[in-house]
Amino acid sequence: MSNKKKSALIARVLALCLAASALAGCSNKPAQSQVTTAPTEITQATQPTQPPAGSLAHVEAEGSLQAWELSAQVWSSSNGATVTLTAQPRAYENGQGASLVVRLEGKEVENVSCNWDGNYFTASVDLEAADGYEYECVFFPAQGAGEHYTLSDAYDSLVYMKRSLDAYCNLYISDFKDADGKFTVTAGWASVQLPQLTTAGTTIGFQKAQLVFTLNGETIETQDIDLPKGEGEGSYESSLSNISFTMPQMDDDYQLDLSLVVTLTNGEELTANGGSWFYNNNELKMAAG
């Protein structure tokens, strides 16, 4: 091969190498950096949420509050309870709030802001045993005025907390007669109310009821009576008629009493006096009051 041809071949080879080198240089060029923006954080405070529907006892027909309920945990001393509000908004968004307000005899005794747990507003208050509590939830929408929801009407046991912590019985004698050596109840009423609020894990039931007829404090005669379940929770009640006891010998300074004695499953006995009687001019009279 001539020197001229060799030179031309070398030139072409060099040109090809330069081109390959240029291409290799382009393929090894660092990628251009991209400007990125941090994603906007979406939290419960900026994103409306919808709690599960139908999980609370009381549903509101309108307003920002969808549902709510009150619950109580009785103290071990049984002289008060911790009352908790659970409230569900129709949709939660930033700026909403709620509070639990408690009044007694018209005076505000508690006003507690609720916490938001991701599904519900909750708040708890410690209340000593008393009757006449009023409960209210004040809901604060993100915009607009606060909305007031009365809670008391649905929870008599929390309104009348002192009474609901205790068991009690009643005996009312509206008519009687004294004839043929018998004292007869012709019309009356007996009832028992078990505690509507009890400490956790405690169950108190009704065991038996007796009418106890006494003379000057000494028992003359007793009679068991049936008290079927009443309409309210833990209530037992019955009308009384044609219940007779043997009439003892009476002097003017003697006193007859008829009482209801109720035994509960925990051994507790409840007593209610239905009336006292005495003789006046040979006629049996019921003591007033």
Whole-number Å distance between alpha carbons of 156 and 159: 5
Is 206 exposed, middle or buried, given 0-12, 13-18 or 19+ CB atoms closer than 10 A? buried
The CA R_g of the chain, rounded to the nearest whole Å, is 41
List CB contacts of 224: < 8 A, sequence separation 6 or more: 208, 209, 210
pLDDT at 54: 55
pLDDT at 289: 56
For the record, the structure tokens of 146 come out as: 């606060």
CATH number of 166-286: 2.60.40
Q: Where in the sequence of the chain do the CATH 2.60.40.10 domains occur?
A: 58-163
Looking at domain 58-163, its CATH class is mainly beta
For Cα atoms 49, 138, 113, give the angle at the middle one, nearest 5 degrees.
80
For the record, the structure tokens of 161 come out as: 């907390």
Whole-number Å distance between alpha carbons of 75 and 129: 10
For residue 242, which of 285, 192, 183 has the smallest C-alpha distance? 183
Segments in the chain below pLDDT 70: 1-54, 201, 289
pLDDT at 109: 97
Distances (CA, A) of 256 to 180, 215, 288: 17, 5, 13
223-260 b/e (C-beta count within 10 Å ≥ 16 → b): eebebeeeeeebbbbbebeebbbebbebeeeeebbbbb
